Amino acid sequence: MTVQPGAVPDACVASAAAASGATSGATSGAASDASAAATAAAAADVASSGAAAPDAVAAATAVEAADLRSGWLTGIAHVVSPNADARPAGAVASLLVIHNISLPPGRFGTGDVARLFTNTLDPQADPFYPAIAGVRVSAHFLIARSGDVTQFVPTEQRAWHAGVSSFEGRERCNDFSIGIELEGTDELPFTDAQYAALAGLCKRLLACHPIDALAGHSDIAPGRKTDPGPCFDWQRLRDALALPPAFFPFQPTPAGPV
């Protein structure tokens, strides 16, 4: 859901160190609270069930069960977006779509992405906003520059993030995907905290849904969208998730040992 002009790949390299330094040691208290809350919720479920599995396995299983029951992931912020509806009968989430977004364009931490997703954005608050007044969009998740994760739509519902799109010949990707927005632009590197949060989120979603592929918005809407952009490090995500190459159909297959 990019709102930025064309990407400048060299800027990614030039500013990577600055972005990393700016966020070094800045993992927010909210992110820590989310982890603690998830652990506490899992522990409560395990205690009430009397399960005899090792603590770590039992806790993970309980968190996954809670996530599946409600469609709302435990231990993260929830803001309900009205821009969602039911998936078609029989459709399940099998695709993760990675986006970037910033509002106003190129500015972070304004809270305006959440306002956009909840139809409360003031069209007079920025010269760019009249152009998107009345737009009704959402994503399931937003990962802030700090690594904080907010969920707007339950995963069993359809968020309005992909628009006109196609994946492997299948149209209407909103029907069968989960949308994850990274606060950012095509021209700037994402933060270490965002990569860590994204990897953790993807692992939870992979445990709860029959996900078999990850793609960028630009992959499913080529020529119309450019996000997450050339600054997004797909290899870093691949390494963090340790998934087979087939999960990343739009990325080059890593070369094997010679």
> How far is Cα 145 from Cα 150, in angstroms, rounded to an integer?
12
Is 156 catalytic? The answer is: no
Amino acid at 133: A
> How far is Cα 127 from Cα 51, in angstroms, rounded to an integer?
56
Taking the CA atoms of residue 140, residue 76, residue 233 and residue 18 in that order, the dihedral angle to the nearest 10 degrees is 130
Q: Cβ(180)–Cβ(97) under 8 Å?
A: yes
Residue 12 makes CB contacts below 8 A (sequence gap 6+) with 187, 188, 189, 230, 231
Amino acid at 137: V
Q: Is the peptide bond before 104 cis (omega within 30 degrees of 0)?
A: yes
> Which structure tokens are listed for 95?
């695709």
| Longest alpha-carbon distance in the chain | 59
Catalytic residue among 64, 181, 183, 187: 181
Amino acid at 201: L
1 HSE (CA, 13 A, CB side): 27
Report the 10 Å Cβ neighbour count for 80. 13
Q: Cβ(150)–Cβ(144) under 8 Å?
A: yes
Residue 135 makes CB contacts below 8 A (sequence gap 6+) with 116
**Catalytically annotated residues:** 181
